[in-house]
Structure 1
């Protein structure tokens, strides 16, 4: 009996613990996601009179930066660079209006999923942030979530984006 243990011992060390499968030891693949710049949809009474300005554009940029940072730091996602997207809807910041064209753009960039995020300005001090994630191959919606946050001027948009990413996307 000692002879069998002597022969099998080194073999067991080389193969690892009995019953351990490669699926148990494999690290799950990170989903490649194209996170496009946040877009503004202005429903406020002043929208007809006050066009989005540099302050609005800067706050959208900051919200995008915050969302991308949180997503990149997660173990679930890998960001895909969207700066190479040349489609008119992407360049104009109108992906929210193109009926899912973001999925095709994301697929061309090598992503598995696309994310379009919209800041909806309801009044000058009320807003909501929404994201829509699509499967890049099929264009099907994978996830849609919206903030419950409603108060704050445009300087609060990145806070709304952070809340949405942390509390909805990454907690799933």
Structure 2
């Protein structure tokens, strides 16, 4: 665990340059509860809210978010772009992006959720930046607070 914490510290310290191109493949909702396979409509809406939050923050920081429509047919065949053996980086490369950006929210229960966001180099597939946080509570506020924390601490530290 100590190695992972050290790795995430160094990943967070790696600088990014505004103007670079990012292919954002969205936030995948993983529901480990017995309720539903894809979460309920409120959770789907929260995932869209996180996608908007991430997109707006990257754009505000000067990154160009590329249109992923040219690879949408490939993306539609992928259950989870964050865990597809590098398909996210390959698709980002096809789009001419410098980086692939993927995220997940894993619902363990209505109280415990895990959220992550990973930025990978489109050429090498290497993770450049990333963070995983656990959140408590299945509300709009807890989800947005968790993602803002990831963005603030791992991607755009002040």
* TM-score of the alignment, normalized to the shorter chain, above 0.5: yes
Cα distance in 1 for partners of 2:116, 2:72 equals: 24
Cα distance in 2 for partners of 1:63, 1:135 equals: 22
Does residue 151 of structure 1 match 2:140? no
Does residue 121 of structure 1 match 2:135? no
**TM-fit CA distance, 1:50:** 2.7
Residue-by-residue CA offset, 1:82-111 (whole Å, 9 max, x unaligned): 2332244x2255212311110011111110
Aligned length: 139
Measured on the aligned residues, the alpha-carbon RMSD in Å equals 2.1
Cα distance in 1 for partners of 2:79, 2:96 equals: 20
Q: 1:129 to 1:49 in 2, by over 3 A?
A: closer
Assess if the C-alpha contact under 8 Å between 1:42 and 1:121 holds in 2.
yes
Aligned to 1:5: none
Aligned to 1:31: 20
Pick from 26, 34, 55: which aligns with 2:42?
55
Cα distance in 1 for partners of 2:64, 2:152 equals: 16
Assess if the C-alpha contact under 8 Å between 1:60 and 1:158 holds in 2.
no
Residue-by-residue CA offset, 1:31-61 (whole Å, 9 max, x unaligned): 2111111011223xxx234332222211111
Cα distance in 2 for partners of 1:99, 1:120 equals: 19
Cα distance in 2 for partners of 1:65, 1:29 equals: 19
Does residue 163 of structure 1 match 2:131? no
Aligned to 1:72: 59
Rg larger in structure: 1
Cα distance in 2 for partners of 1:100, 1:146 equals: 19
Q: For structure 1, which runs of at least 5 residues remain unmatched after alignment? A: 1-27
Assess if the C-alpha contact under 8 Å between 1:38 and 1:64 holds in 2.
yes
Residue-by-residue CA offset, 1:113-132 (whole Å, 9 max, x unaligned): 00111112122122121112
